[in-house]
Chain A
Amino acid sequence: MTEETGIIRAVLEGDTESFRLLVQKYQKPIIRMIANLINDRHICEDVAQEVFLAAYKKLPSFDPARSSFSTWLFTITRNKSINAMKKKRVLSVSNPPENPDFSEPADSLIRDELFVKLDRALQSLNPGHKRALVMAEFENLPYEQIAQIEGVRIGTIKSRINRAKQRLRSVLDGIDGDIQ
């Protein structure tokens, strides 16, 4: 029995406080995924709160034989993010980094401009492509897990990520080198 399974069992047996350990473990990736999907830092914590509350309520229906807890939680996050995007169609651009590590101010400006372009390109992606890219590139989730969360085949996920990367690559056209 993993530590996580033990925590889930404790919560299900009435030890509500144990749920805190799950919140602490997953809050950062969950908030980050929501922030990158809906691109609105103001409401991402509210959506994340909804995710954890839904997870708590649905915990009795979580089946470890069907998926890992993280996959299950990311699936709830995906669904809540889709709902939040439907409620609030946002197309703002995230703030440029506060501490650029490029020595030349000109470089920093160019980089900030490229970041803004990449942000815009990310937000303009097809929603399915964006979710696949966010989970793969920012959450480092394996393709298999992303496929399980999205309820599609791995090949579909690979294709969505490739298309998303192509779109982002086009933003960086004119600069030396390639996106890996």
Chain B
Amino acid sequence: MKDHEVYESWRQEKRQIDVSRNFTERVMNEVHQCEQSRKIPLIKMERLIDLISFHPLAKTGLVAAGAATGIARLIIMINAILSNGVING
């Protein structure tokens, strides 16, 4: 018994795999459940998180919206400070 024969035999054994008969069905049930949950209103938090996690555009949009909000707040604040300064001065 040569070592390459042993190795090849082991390799072939590792390539053998039994898949449960209902595996595809189990996956498809989960997929259908997932699809059902997607039909629930968009406002649902889980759906929003899913949307943001899996869509790069949604992620970019969220970051851009956050940045825009931050900048807007900054502008309003600076404007308020300057207005107060002008009034007081």
- The number of residue pairs between A and B whose CB atoms lie closer than 8 Å in the complex comes to 100
Size of chain A's interface in residues, with CB distance under 8 A?
A: 42
Contact B54 A61 (CB under 8 A): yes
Q: How distant is the Cα of A137 from the Cα of B10 in the complex, in angstroms?
A: 11
Q: How distant is the Cα of A52 from the Cα of B31 in the complex, in angstroms?
A: 9
Contact B3 A169 (CB under 8 A): yes
B6 to chain A, nearest CB (A): 5
Which among B13, B19, B35 is the interface contact of A115 at CB below 8 angstroms?
B13
Contact A57 B20 (CB under 8 A): no
B4 to chain A, nearest CB (A): 5
CB-CB contacts of A154-180 with B at 8 A, as 1s and 0s?
Answer: 000000000000001100100111111
A56 in the interface, Cβ–Cβ < 8 Å?
Answer: yes
Contact B55 A137 (CB under 8 A): no
Contact B24 A24 (CB under 8 A): yes
Which among B7, B20, B28, B54 is the interface contact of A60 at CB below 8 angstroms?
B54
Which among A36, A49, A115, A175 is the interface contact of B30 at CB below 8 angstroms?
A49
What residues of chain B lie closer than 8 Å to A19, measured between beta carbons? 28, 31
Q: How distant is the Cα of A138 from the Cα of B10 in the complex, in angstroms?
A: 10
Interface residue stretch chosen among A27-35, A68-76, A144-152: A27-35
What residues of chain B lie closer than 8 Å to A172, measured between beta carbons? 3, 6-7
Q: How distant is the Cα of A109 from the Cα of B11 in the complex, in angstroms?
A: 17
Which among B2, B24, B26, B34 is the interface contact of A56 at CB below 8 angstroms?
B34
A111-B9, A178-B3, A179-B7 as given contacts; A20 in contact with B19, CB under 8 Å:
no
A64 in the interface, Cβ–Cβ < 8 Å?
Answer: no
Q: How distant is the Cα of A48 from the Cα of B27 in the complex, in angstroms?
A: 9
Q: Which of B9, B27, B28, B50 has the most CB of A within 10 A?
A: B27
Q: How distant is the Cα of A97 from the Cα of B5 in the complex, in angstroms?
A: 15
Q: List 25 A-B contacts (CB under 8 A).
A: A16-B32, A17-B28, A24-B24, A27-B19, A27-B24, A32-B14, A35-B17, A45-B26, A49-B27, A49-B30, A53-B27, A53-B31, A53-B34, A56-B31, A60-B54, A60-B55, A61-B54, A107-B1, A138-B11, A169-B3, A172-B6, A176-B1, A177-B4, A178-B3, A179-B7
Please give me the 10 A-B residue pairs with the lowest Cβ-Cβ distance, nearest first. A177-B2, A172-B3, A32-B17, A175-B3, A179-B7, A52-B27, A177-B3, A23-B27, A118-B10, A138-B14
B→A interface (CB under 8 Å): 1-11, 13-15, 17, 19-20, 23-24, 26-28, 30-32, 34-35, 50, 54-56
